Amino acid sequence: MSNLALVVPVAAARERLDRFLAAAPACSEAHLSRSRLQALMSSGAVLVDGQPVTNLSFKLKGGEAISIDLPEPEPYEPAGEDIPLDIEFEDSHLIIINKPAGLVVHPAPGHADGTLVNALIHHCGDSLSGIGGVRRPGIVHRLDKDTSGLLVVAKSDAAHQGLAALFADHGRSGSLVRRYLALVWGAPQRRQGTIDAPLGRHSSAREKISVRKDGREAITHYRVLASFGPPGHVVASLVECTLETGRTHQIRVHMAHIGHPVMGDGLYGAGFRSKAQNLGRGAREALAAMPRQALHAATLGFVHPVTQQDLLFERAPPEDMARLIAALG
């Protein structure tokens, strides 16, 4: 068990404790994310003037002494599994993988094994980073189970810290580039635009995300690359999406929100299944043979957080999505 000590300046009066800690240089140097700090608060590991504070919205007065009890990294429970990985790039600090559709990133109820984490434990061994008291593969962003494409994982603490900062910034001021390809129903009225709609957990369907006034900021930029069908009767479009934020299911929810859900998305586009009758026979068969949303993380680029090397990778959609694109065309 180690201890981290801070003193609250007077200027921080009335600031929320979790926000103050998330912005504190000492917490950043200790690789403590805001979510990790909140977990430490909930467990009673954050003390203000010697008293544990578990209220996440606790307001500071200024001048308090804060100490954080940091547990030693715990062994990560999932076992390594010899699952083939399509590796785009790897060095001693990070690894970039082309994730196939159907592969879950993290173990979860119903997916205790056979995940990317299990594969990484087997492939990387003890080189995976231990951040904020949890020794685990350095996952800094995720792809949905049925979304394919490029994903980066940290292998060293230095890379984890740098990548986490890049993904928190989402390319606003840093070097991060992330572009997705999506096949959507119909065609957006504007060939390119921005969807700015906050997202939060659905009020009744807990497996879904929805647009909510009280949700977290979510911004998606889109550009129509191609439309399929005669003028005035476009049945589908190939859209490039760039994320300014990285919320769960963001592209899928945002495209459905503007009336153009991702093809094959049973969660957010179920009401569009009848649209398949407007497709040609080849496209109908290709869509029926694709049991997932037609969404692919095609481009990933950033400046390597340790070596400062410029990295940029592109992967074409896998066979199932490529077959649907060809059939639509």
Helix-helix angle 319-328:281-288, to 10 degrees: 160
What is the pLDDT confidence band of residue 133, given thresholds at 50, 70 and 90? very low
The pLDDT tens digits for 169-178 are 877 788 999 9
Q: pTM score, two decimals?
A: 0.75
What integer best gives the mean pLDDT of the chain?
A: 88
For position 26, what pLDDT does the model report? 81
Higher pLDDT, 18 or 241: 241
Whole-number Å distance between alpha carbons of 184 and 177? 22
Q: Among the residues of 154-297, which ranges form H helices?
A: 157-169, 250-257, 281-288
What is the pLDDT confidence band of residue 30, given thresholds at 50, 70 and 90? confident
The pLDDT tens digits for 67-108 are 998 876 555 467 788 999 999 999 999 999 999 999 998 776
Residue 253 has pLDDT above 70, yes or no: yes
Pairing of strands 65-70, 134-135: unpaired
Whole-number Å distance between alpha carbons of 209 and 215? 10
Domains and CATH numbers, the chain: 2-70 (3.10.290.10), 87-169 (3.30.2350.10), 180-297 (3.30.2350.10)
For position 32, what pLDDT does the model report? 81
Selecting among 144, 146, 265, 320, the annotated active-site residue is 144
For position 19, what pLDDT does the model report? 85
310 is catalytic: no
For position 131, what pLDDT does the model report? 44
Pairing of strands 87-90, 94-99: antiparallel
For position 125, what pLDDT does the model report? 73
For position 135, what pLDDT does the model report? 46
What is the pLDDT confidence band of residue 134, given thresholds at 50, 70 and 90? very low
